[in-house]
């Protein structure tokens, strides 16, 4: 009997179960987005080749358990007919997660799914010293918990008051949760040291009296497992996609060049030195 290459199976999303020669297949679900066609095919495969149920993972994926070893190839072929692809496991870039973002959610400041797709196309499956996770969330409500990820991207807004359009209704000051906006004698002042770029002032304004530029708030080195650490945000707002990808490229490169096998990104940053890491990120930020 041929030896089973479990490492290759795991790399392709087939994870060993307790039950011998049974595997749970993790699918590639980018940004939590699945079509009705995808779901129909997943249900069909789960019924025919699994035990009739699926598991929804904590990172927006779908796993089909109880796939038999002899059915691995046919399951991949069947899923492909419904537009479904296997995910990955092990020391590589995982599928990018995202909330619904500005295309669906009223609070969203950025198109999270678009960014998730582009990040996934750029990095998915890339071999690294350890697993590497991206998460994209649309606003400061942080439904996706961006700072739990190796690289987290949060939607923000770069704001500037437009005096000529303002009717001094005071709504912006009332909705600001950071007390960053004050109004005196018809003049609005923003304390940018307090402002968290949430965009609530922009969305609440009845006269569009704010110049608003969608932006990205990027955090690095988050962990939420055996060790817990909040990702840190050493860079100013990023307002251009090209600039965003320069920074994410640099973070991936830093990990690939400096990480030890089985070492998470956060521990690489701590071991090599935050100053060195931040310098590299600042160089990428400024181009």
Non-local CB neighbours of 170 within 8 Å, separated by 6+ positions:
183
Residue 75 domain-assigned? yes
* Whole-number average pLDDT of the chain: 97
Residue 228 domain-assigned? yes
Angle between helix 274-286 and 241-258 (nearest 10)? 150
Residue 91 domain-assigned? no
CA 6, CA 16: separation in Å to the nearest integer?
8
* Predicted model pTM: 0.95
Taking residue 70's Cβ as centre, other Cβ atoms within 10 Å add up to 8
Residue 92 domain-assigned? no
* pLDDT at site 220: 98
**CA 280 from chain center: how many Å?**
21
* pLDDT at site 37: 97
DSSP structural state of residue 215: E
Same domain for 184 and 137: yes
Q: What is 217-261 written as a DSSP string?
A: EEEE--EESSSEE--B--S--B--HHHHHHHHHHHHHHHHHHPPT
pLDDT in tens, 66-88: 999 999 999 999 999 999 999 99
Same domain for 169 and 28: no
Residue 240: both structure tokens together: 């251009």
Of all residues in the chain, what percent carry a pLDDT higher than 70?
99
Residue 214: both structure tokens together: 């969608």
What band does 93 get if pLDDT is binned at 50, 70 and 90?
very high
Same domain for 276 and 176: yes
Task: Domain count for the chain, please give it.
Answer: 2
Give the CATH number for residue 65.
3.30.70.3340
Q: Mapping DSSP to helix (H, G, I), strand (E, B) and coil, where does residue 151 land? A: strand
Answer yes or no: is pLDDT of 263 > 60: yes
Going by C-alpha positions, the residue among 98, 179, 185, 180 that lies closest to residue 143 is 98
Distances (CA, A) of 94 to 16, 59, 106, 235: 18, 10, 28, 24
* pLDDT at site 4: 86
pLDDT in tens, 133-191: 999 999 999 999 999 999 999 999 999 999 999 999 999 999 999 999 999 998 999 99
DSSP structural state of residue 143: T
Residue numbers of the domain that contains 54: 6-81
**CA 119 from chain center: how many Å?**
9
Residue 222 domain-assigned? yes
* pLDDT at site 1: 53
CB 120 within 8 A of CB 30: yes
Give the CATH number for residue 144.
3.30.413.10
Same domain for 127 and 52: no
DSSP structural state of residue 101: G
Residue 86 domain-assigned? no
* pLDDT at site 3: 83
Same domain for 111 and 17: no
Phi-psi region of 262 (alpha: psi -120 to 50; beta: other; left: phi over 0): left
* pLDDT at site 29: 97
Same domain for 227 and 149: yes
Residue 87 domain-assigned? no
Same domain for 136 and 49: no
Same domain for 151 and 61: no
Same domain for 146 and 20: no
**CA 243 from chain center: how many Å?**
17
Same domain for 60 and 153: no
Same domain for 102 and 54: no
Residue 171 domain-assigned? yes
Taking residue 284's Cβ as centre, other Cβ atoms within 10 Å add up to 20
Answer yes or no: is pLDDT of 2 > 80: no
- Which of 81, 108, 135 represents a domain boundary (last residue)? 81
Same domain for 153 and 14: no
**CA 92 from chain center: how many Å?**
15
Residue carrying structure tokens 């496991």? 89
């Amino acid at each position: 009997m041929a030896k089973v290459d479990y490492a290759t199976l795991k790399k392709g999303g087939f994870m060993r179960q307790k039950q011998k020669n049974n595997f749970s297949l993790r699918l590639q679900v980018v940004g939590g987005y699945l079509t009705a066609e995808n779901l129909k095919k997943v249900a069909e495969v789960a019924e025919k080749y699994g035990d009739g149920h699926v598991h929804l993972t904590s990172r927006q994926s779908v796993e089909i358990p109880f796939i038999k070893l002899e059915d691995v190839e046919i399951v991949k072929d069947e899923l492909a007919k419904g537009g479904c692809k296997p995910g990955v496991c092990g020391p590589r870039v995982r599928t990018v997660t995202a909330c619904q973002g500005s295309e669906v959610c009223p609070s969203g400041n950025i198109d999270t799914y678009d960014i998730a797709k582009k990040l996934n196309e750029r990095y998915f499956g890339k071999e690294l010293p350890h697993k590497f996770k991206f998460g994209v969330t649309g606003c400061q409500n942080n439904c996706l918990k961006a700072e739990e990820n190796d690289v987290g991207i949060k939607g923000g807004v770069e704001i500037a008051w437009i005096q000529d359009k303002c009717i001094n209704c005071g709504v912006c000051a009332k909705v600001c949760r950071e007390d960053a906006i004050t109004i005196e004698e018809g003049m609005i002042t923003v304390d940018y040291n307090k402002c968290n770029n949430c965009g609530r002032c922009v969305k609440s304004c009845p006269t569009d009296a704010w110049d608003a530029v969608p932006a990205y708030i990027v955090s690095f080195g988050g962990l939420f497992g055996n060790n817990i650490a909040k990702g840190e945000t050493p860079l100013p707002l990023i307002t251009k996609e090209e600039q965003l990808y320069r920074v994410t490229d640099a973070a991936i490169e830093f990990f690939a060049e400096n990480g030890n096998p089985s070492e998470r990104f956060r521990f690489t940053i701590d071991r090599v030195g935050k100053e060195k890491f931040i310098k590299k990120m600042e160089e990428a930020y400024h181009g």
